[in-house]
């Protein structure tokens, strides 16, 4: 596990960010750019309150994962994905790949905001 996150606003979700061994090693060692073979997965679920937990705490304060929304992947292959900073992107819903070209064309340009600081990756290793 690399980290967790909560997006409010329209996304309103809870997220887990996971990495394969190559990605996690690069995080631990502080290696940038990430080496080829690094894979980062971002899982997300609807952000829902838990009446069961709230009852125990005696007030509304507990939020847990609801239905899954989508899973996104960043895969590092500096040759194959040379046009997008060495990263290939993918999104899955209900276990199936989303093949929308319009959607896929949004990933790299937005991730480019952190191209120079963290090799196109937003998530920091959870302290």
Q: Does 68 bind ligand HEC (CB under 6 A)?
A: no
Q: Which residues pair with 6 in a beta bridge?
A: 14
Buried b (16+ CB within 10 A) or exposed e, 100-118: eeeebeebbeebeeeeeee
> Considering only 24-32, 45-53, 78-86, 100-108, which stretch makes contact with ligand HEC by CB under 6 A?
100-108
Q: Does 7 bind ligand HEC (CB under 6 A)?
A: yes
What the block records as the tokens of 15 is: 């997220």
Contact 91, 98 (CB under 8 A): yes
Number of residues interacting with ligand HEC: please give it, by CB under 6 A: 21
Q: Least Å distance between CB 3 and ligand HEC?
A: 8
> Considering only 27-35, 45-53, 55-63, 71-79, which stretch makes contact with ligand HEC by CB under 6 A?
71-79
Q: Does 17 bind ligand HEC (CB under 6 A)?
A: yes
Upper half-sphere CA count for residue 15 (Cβ side, 13 Å): 21
What the block records as the tokens of 31 is: 């290696």
Q: Least Å distance between CB 71 and ligand HEC?
A: 9
Q: Does 89 bind ligand HEC (CB under 6 A)?
A: yes
Give whole-number Cα distances, 124 to 19, 45, 112, 118, 119, in Å: 12, 20, 16, 9, 11
Rule CB under 6 A: which residues touch ligand HEC? 5, 7, 15, 17, 40, 42, 72-74, 89-91, 103-104, 106-107, 110-111, 121-123
């Amino acid at each position: 596990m690399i980290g967790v996150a909560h997006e409010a606003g329209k996304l309103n979700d809870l997220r887990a960010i996971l990495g394969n061994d190559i990605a996690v090693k690069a995080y631990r060692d502080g290696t940038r750019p990430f080496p080829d073979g690094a894979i980062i997965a971002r899982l997300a679920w609807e952000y829902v309150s838990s009446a069961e937990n709230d009852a125990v705490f005696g007030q509304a304060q507990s939020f847990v994962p609801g239905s899954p929304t989508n899973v996104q992947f960043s895969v590092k292959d500096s040759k194959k994905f040379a046009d997008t900073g060495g990263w290939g992107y993918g999104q899955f819903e209900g276990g199936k790949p989303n093949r929308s070209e319009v959607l896929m064309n949004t990933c790299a340009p937005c991730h480019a905001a952190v191209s120079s600081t963290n090799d196109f990756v937003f998530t920091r290793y959870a302290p």
